[in-house]
Structure 1
Amino acid sequence: MNILIVLITFIAMEGATWLIHKYVMHGFLWVLHRDHHDHSTDGPLERNDLFFIIFAIPAILLMFVGVKNGYSPSFYIGLGITLYGLAYFLVHDVFIHQRLSIFRQTESPYFRAIRRAHKQHHKHLGKEEGECFGFLWVPIKYFKLYFKK
């Protein structure tokens, strides 16, 4: 049952990420996200990196409360959020934006589709007219570019 909670939370985070990215990061917290699009920050960190802390706090609190209550479901929800955050870091920051110089080349149609959709997202420098707000699931048209029929 606990593994199911983690899995459902991980999957639900994709929807939450889409909503937060579109309506919060490209909305009232654009001031933090803008430098991720226009690259106006010098150095390895961006204001956008504060979202790591913003998203980590609920996961940490859920895990803390869950442990305190004998590994209640809140622990496994927090774990699912944390695992999604790890996947996000590895795919978005390491693979797509190359913050670490590894995984530069791939023949995987799935990862190539994700990279292409993310490039489409970043072609818009402003907060309006964005597209491809998802992370692990992007519009089908990008998958069709790389998956052979």
Structure 2
Amino acid sequence: MNILTVILTFIFMEPITWFIHKYVMHGFLWSLHKDHHDHSHEGAFEKNDYFFFIFSIPAILLFYFGSRDGLTFPFFLGLGITLYGIAYFFVHDIFIHQRIKILRDTNSPYLLAIRRAHKQHHKHVQKEDGECFGFLFVPIKYFKIYFKNS
């Protein structure tokens, strides 16, 4: 049951991430996300990086409350959220944006589709008219491009 909780939480994080990206990051917290689109920051960090801390708070609280009397349900929710956050960091920050210069080349149709959809998202430098707010599940048209050619 615990592993199922972790897996389902990880999967459910995708629509939550889409919603937060579209309505919070491209909404009332655009001031923190803007420099990720227009590259107006100086140095290695962006204001957008504050979201890592903001999004870690629920997981930390779930770990805390879920481990006070053994490992209970909230702990495994926190674990699913944390694993999603780790996946997000590796795919978004390392693979897509190359903040650490590894994983540059791939022939994986899945990863190429994710990269293409994210580039499509970034062609919009304003908070309006955005597209492709998902992370691991992006519109099927991007997958068709690469799976058709493989």
Tell me the TM-score normalized by structure 2: 0.98
Unmatched 5+ stretches in structure 2: none
One-letter amino acid matched to 1:11 = I
- Partner Cα distance (1:46, 1:69) in 2: 38
Name 2:78's counterpart in structure 1: 78
Q: Distance in 1 between matches of 2:69 and 2:133?
A: 35
CA distance in 1, matches of 2:69, 2:34: 40
The answer for the alignment partner of 1:50 in structure 2 is 50
- The one-letter code matched in structure 2 to 1:9 is T
In the TM superposition, what whole-angstrom CA distance separates every residue of 1:91-138 from its partner, at most 9, and x where no partner exists?
A: 000000000000001000000000000000000000000000000000
Offset of 1:69 from its aligned partner? 2.7
**Structure 1 CA distance for aligned equivalents of residues 44 and 57 of structure 2:** 22
Identity of counterpart residues, as a percentage? 70
Matched pairs, number: 149
1:135 aligns with 2:135: yes
Measure the CA separation in 1 of the matches of 2:107 and 2:70.
44
TM-score, L = length of structure 1: 0.99
Cα distance in 2 for residues equivalent to 1:69 and 1:82: 20
CA RMSD of aligned residues (A): 0.7
Q: Which runs of 4+ in 1 moved over 2 A?
A: none
Distance 1:105 1:79 in 2: 30
* 1:16 alignment counterpart: 16
